[in-house]
Amino acid sequence: MRNFIYAASLAILPFSAQAASVIDNGIISLGVDDLGQLNFAGIGLKYLPNNHESTIQGCPCEGWGVGIGETMQSGYANNATGIDGLTLQSFTGTSSSAVSIVTVNGTDLRVTHNFAPATETSNLYRVAVTIENNGTTDIADLRYTRTFDWDVDPTPFSEYVTIQGTTTTPSVLYADDNGFSNSNPFADRTAILFMGDAIDQGPADHGSNFDFGFGALLAGDSYTFDIFYGAASTEVEILAALGEVGAEVYSLGQSSGDPLGLGTDGFGNPTTTFAFGFRGVGGKVIVPDPTPSTVPVPASGLLLLAGLGAFGVRRKKKART
């Protein structure tokens, strides 16, 4: 168990009042802090059917960061390891959704995290992340980091962790199981048990950190991808949910009493498999959709889909003027 004192980090926020929200879809609940990081009001990522929590206990170690490789300028938000370089533009929330918009100090970057229930499955929340270059200078090396410390009930601080998809996603520059990492994309990294892909490693007090390199972001362009947070009673169920949304990279967190994600420990107590993952980051869909369409697609349609797929690896769009 690692407890971090993070009041000093919060004190450097460049605004006077905080807005944040606890949201849910009846199955999954998230505590969304104002800069787009999790862990607010005692909620991180919770599975409501059994009230199991997965990240708030011990330390509020979940966050993100964005940076420009050629200048090493960055902004990041993690309630445990530090907050710096960001200015809040707006935060809006409802009972089931939240939108955080920030800018990165000293740059022309604007980042939006849009939290809403996934339409494909009730076991996941989608976070649509949009990074905009609103300046007149092209960015050659856009970076993004997401950090998550697994503290999975009913055995927080003792989890089995799985990471998959890093070998088939060229934009993953580095990944490991250190959920206590600084979310600054340019911070030093040290693994706890492993780097890259692994299955059911543990038990230990660990999590996941992903550093992405998205390449060039031209002036006036934006880059959009999805993050998913969720949970289910069993590993089979949560993998099916990740398949529904076409996950390319993901991490699973499971209690030490149920490393296989069967839904119960050796004493008959319920367990939960938690997950977070990414889509639209230039990787290969690694979890098959459990309910593929049975409607045949004409040959011309297949050619069109292939063209759209190649275009969608980098979902960049021209910013509105």
> Does residue 253 register a pLDDT over 50?
yes
At 121-137, the pLDDT tens digits run 999 999 999 999 999 99
139 alpha carbon, distance to own chain's centre: 23
Entry pTM: 0.86
The tokens describing 60, both together, are: 């509020």
CB 209, CB 178: distance < 8 Å = yes
Instruction: Give the span between the Cα atoms of 90 and 100, in whole angstroms.
Output: 6
* Among 195, 192, 145, 187, residue whose Cα is nearest residue 167: 195
At 221-236, the pLDDT tens digits run 999 999 999 999 999 9
pLDDT of residue 98: 98
> Does residue 87 register a pLDDT over 80?
yes
Q: Which residues contact 126 (CB under 8 A, 6 or more apart)?
A: 115, 116, 117, 118, 119, 226, 227, 228, 245
Quickly list DSSP for 162-186: EEESSTT-TTEEEEES-TTS---TT
Instruction: Give the span between the Cα atoms of 232 and 95, in whole angstroms.
Output: 21
Average confidence (pLDDT) over 238-246: 97
Quickly list DSSP for 131-157: EEE-SSS-EEEEEEEEEEE---TTSTT
* b/e burial code for range 103-127 (CB count within 10 A of at least 16 → b): bbeebbbbbbbbbbbbebbebbbbb
> Does residue 300 register a pLDDT over 70?
no
pLDDT of residue 11: 33
Q: Name the pLDDT band for 292 (thresholds 50, 70, 90).
A: low
Instruction: Give the span between the Cα atoms of 182 and 176, in whole angstroms.
Output: 13
Q: CATH number of the domain at 7-318, please? A: 2.70.98
Q: Which residues contact 299 (CB under 8 A, 6 or more apart)?
A: none
Instruction: Give the span between the Cα atoms of 228 and 277, in whole angstroms.
Output: 5
The tokens describing 56, both together, are: 């708030």
Q: Name the pLDDT band for 316 (thresholds 50, 70, 90).
A: very low
